Amino acid sequence: MAYFSSININTKSSLLFLACFSLFSSQITEACHEIDRAALLGFKDKITLDPSDLLKTWNQSTNCCTTWDGVTCDSTGRVVNVTRPGLFSTDDSIFDTSMTGTISPSLGNLSSLQLLDLSNLKNLNGPIPPELGKLSHLTYLFLNTNQLNSSIPTTFRNLLKLKKLYLSDNRLFGVIPSSVFETLTSLTELGLSGNLLSGVIPSRIGKLVLLARLDFHSNNLSGRIPITIGSLKNLKSLDLSENRISGSIPLSIGELSQLVQLYLHQNRLTGSIPSSISNLISLQFCRLSENKLTGSLPASIGKLPSIQRLVLENNKLTGKLPATIGHLTRLTDMYFSNNRFTGKIPSSLGNLKNLQVLDLSKNHLSGPIPYQLVKLQNLQILDLSYNPMGLGSIPNWFSKLNLFRLLLARTGITGQLPKWFSSSSIGILDLSSNGLTGKLPHWIGNMTNLSFLNLSNNGFHSVIPIEFKNLSLLMDLDLHSNKFAGRLGDIFSKTTQEPLGHFNSIDLSYNMFVGPIDEDIGNQDSMGSIEKLVLSQNLLGGTIPKSLGKLGRLRILELEKNGLSGRIPAELGNATELTSIVLSGNKLTGGIPSGVLNLVNLEEFDVSMNKLRGRIPPHNTTIPASAFKGNYGLCGAPLPPCNTAQ
């Protein structure tokens, strides 16, 4: 049984609901009805594994109304409440467990049942019994987070009193039965997410006029969003994300004035965002990303008085950003990346006093950046990367912001790094693919909050200053494609700040660094967690350090075209997580160690254009002959066979 010290809001709400439901159940005056006892024992008979003894108290010799855990009866001895979820609480703890087996059709005989909760048992499988449709008093049904595999029974149309129905996170298939929505007009919450349901969303869903929460995300639903969705006037949360829904967003969406959450992302929606969206006066969270939406943003989008998070990234939206966005003063997150927006950034964005994230990357926006953004004192993340902004220099007024993440890749920055960086709190900095020049300044060592630094594809030309060692939180470094020179020791031996500051990735390729690579690179504290090490296309010379074999998390090692000599160290075979080893274009000699070529996770191996000799060891990974070419002393599969003398 696993213990959890924290618990999400939805789980807390569910547990509070169950506690309240039990608290207000009628007092028991009669013994358990024999039909109900038999029905519950029939359920227990179908359970093959109950590791936490959730059903231990269920036995023939005791009163199911008074001694059976999770069972509540009314005053006549009829069972009204069965709650055996896999996620449950005691006075001070939350427990998570499981149960294996199938749901017995005998539960359909609990004719007075109002609440059935078998959620989060993880391993309940088999079909949902159609007999559950006989439970005419059922008000709450929770079967979510199991492995149930069947269609949704059409008999559920008889559950006229049902208010909450959760079948999410199972393996249910087939279509959503339209007939169910003819009669379940008392439903306030409907959760079918995380299944394999297909077909269209029935238009009759519009008859569920009391519905406050509708969640169909992560299925295989197709077709259009029905126009009748606008009839659900009480809807507060609508999640149709991660499906295959196509067509346009219906104008009727604007009739959902109580809607707080709208998630339509990761579908195939086309057309423009309807201007009726301005009627969603309660909307706080809106995610329409990962679709094929086109057209310009309607100016009416500025009439969403409650919006906090607006995510429109990865679409095909065009035109200028409407100045009315500046009216969304409660907005905290604005993700508009990877669209086709043009023009300048509206100065009205400076009115978004609560904005924490502004991501306009990968568009066609032009500069300059409006000075009014200096008012965004809550802004933590600014990403304008991959826009043809022609910035020239980074505005000095940026120093007045409290940025943690600044991303300005390929925005036309030239000149040198601004000195105000040395006193900033920036932790993630990406200035790659610009026209920056000059030396990496000594004050770089003052940027002690840096955890990610990308200065690749620029024109820097200097050695790495010794103050670089002070970047004790730095974990990802990309300096490739510059003209950096000198030794690498001050990078590999930088300080750490336990448990942080250990490298995840380093890319120093296509520079002018000289070697040899420090023999103790694998012993450096900062290198113990590294997964990617790319040093290709430098002037390193020397040999491959044996200590690289001590990098137990290393997955990618690229050292091509460095003038390396000597043998491939057999110790490299101790780095068991390696998936890619590229050593081509060097002067390596000797044979290929069998332990290196037979690393269990190896997917890519290239030692072409070296001076290796001998038989290629037998190996399981499929490696093309081109990966061994240019080594005239090598033989054996996938190259031609060796002579008997070799």
Convert the pLDDT of each residue in 123-163 to its tens digit: 999 999 999 999 999 999 999 999 999 999 999 999 999 99
Residue 6's pLDDT is: 31
The single-letter DSSP state of residue 572 is G
Residues 477 and 497 in one domain: no
Residue 88's pLDDT is: 81
Question: Residue 512 in 3-state DSSP?
Answer: strand
Q: Please say if the pLDDT value at position 221 is more than 90.
A: yes
How many CB atoms are closer than 10 A to CB 476? 17
Average pLDDT over residues 278-304: 97
Question: Residue 467 in 3-state DSSP?
Answer: helix
Q: Is residue 178 a part of any domain in this protein?
A: no
Among the listed residues 388, 440, 381, the one whose alpha carbon sits nearest the alpha carbon of residue 409 = 388
**β partners of residue 538:** none
The single residue listed with the structure tokens 């007009």 is 185
Residues 496 and 631 in one domain: yes
Report d(CA 510, CA 532) in Å as an integer.
Answer: 16
Q: Is residue 120 a part of any domain in this protein?
A: no
Range of the domain at 420: 404-485
Residues 425 and 330 in one domain: no
Among the listed residues 185, 299, 200, 210, the one whose alpha carbon sits nearest the alpha carbon of residue 240 = 200
Cβ-contact 345, 370 below 8 angstroms: yes
Residues 525 and 431 in one domain: no
The single-letter DSSP state of residue 11 is H
For the stretch 361-389, pLDDT in tens is: 999 999 899 999 999 999 999 999 999 99
pLDDT tier at 94, thresholds 50, 70, 90: confident
Q: What is the CATH number of the domain that holds 332?
A: 3.80.10.10
Q: Can you spell out the DSSP letters for 182-202?
A: HH-TT-SEEE--SSEEEEEPP
Could you check whether the bond before residue 370 is cis, i.e. omega within 30 degrees of 0? no
Q: Can you spell out the DSSP letters for 205-228?
A: GGG-TT--EEE--SSEEESPPPGG
Q: Is residue 437 a part of any domain in this protein?
A: yes
Q: How far is residue 344 CA from its own chain's centroid?
A: 31
Give pTM, 2 decimals: 0.90
Cβ-contact 170, 193 below 8 angstroms: no
Report d(CA 601, CA 343) in Å as an integer.
Answer: 48
How many CB atoms are closer than 10 A to CB 306? 15
Of the three residues 344, 360, 389, the one that is the final residue of a domain is: 389
Residue 180's pLDDT is: 86
Question: Residue 281 in 3-state DSSP?
Answer: coil
Write down the mean pLDDT value for the chain.
94
Of the three residues 456, 485, 514, the one that is the final residue of a domain is: 485
Question: Residue 106 in 3-state DSSP?
Answer: helix
**β partners of residue 46:** none
Residues 473 and 603 in one domain: no
Residues 469 and 593 in one domain: no
Report d(CA 586, CA 584) in Å as an integer.
Answer: 6
For the stretch 180-210, pLDDT in tens is: 888 999 999 999 999 999 999 999 999 999 9
Residues 567 and 432 in one domain: no
Residues 352 and 449 in one domain: no
For the stretch 402-428, pLDDT in tens is: 999 999 999 999 999 999 999 999 999
Residue 3's pLDDT is: 30
Amino acid at 241: S
Within 8 A by CB and 6+ apart from 603, the residues are 579, 580, 621
pLDDT tier at 645, thresholds 50, 70, 90: low
Residues 537 and 572 in one domain: yes
Q: Please say if the pLDDT value at position 211 is more than 70.
A: yes
Residue 23's pLDDT is: 44
Residue 646's pLDDT is: 53
Among 12-21, 95-104, 197-206, 530-539, the range scoring the smallest mean pLDDT is 12-21
**For residue 595, what is the enclosing H or E element?**
helix 594-597
Q: Is 318 left (phi over 0), alpha (psi -120 to 50) or beta?
A: beta
Q: Angle at CA 556, nearest 5°, toward 551 and 559? A: 95
Q: Please say if the pLDDT value at position 502 is more than 60.
A: yes
**β partners of residue 269:** 247
Residues 462 and 562 in one domain: no
Q: Is residue 147 a part of any domain in this protein?
A: no
Q: Is residue 51 a part of any domain in this protein?
A: no
Residue 30's pLDDT is: 75
Q: Is residue 56 a part of any domain in this protein?
A: no
Of the three residues 485, 508, 533, the one that is the final residue of a domain is: 485
What percentage of the chain exceeds 90 in pLDDT?
92
Residue 16's pLDDT is: 46
Total structural domains within the chain:
3
Pairing of strands 79-83, 71-73: antiparallel
Residues 511 and 604 in one domain: yes
Residue 338's pLDDT is: 98
Q: Is residue 354 a part of any domain in this protein?
A: yes
Cβ-contact 105, 126 below 8 angstroms: no
Average pLDDT over residues 283-298: 98
Among the listed residues 261, 271, 270, the one whose alpha carbon sits nearest the alpha carbon of residue 240 = 261
Average pLDDT over residues 603-631: 96
Report d(CA 524, CA 543) in Å as an integer.
Answer: 18
Residues 641 and 513 in one domain: yes
Report d(CA 128, CA 107) in Å as an integer.
Answer: 11
Q: Is residue 459 a part of any domain in this protein?
A: yes
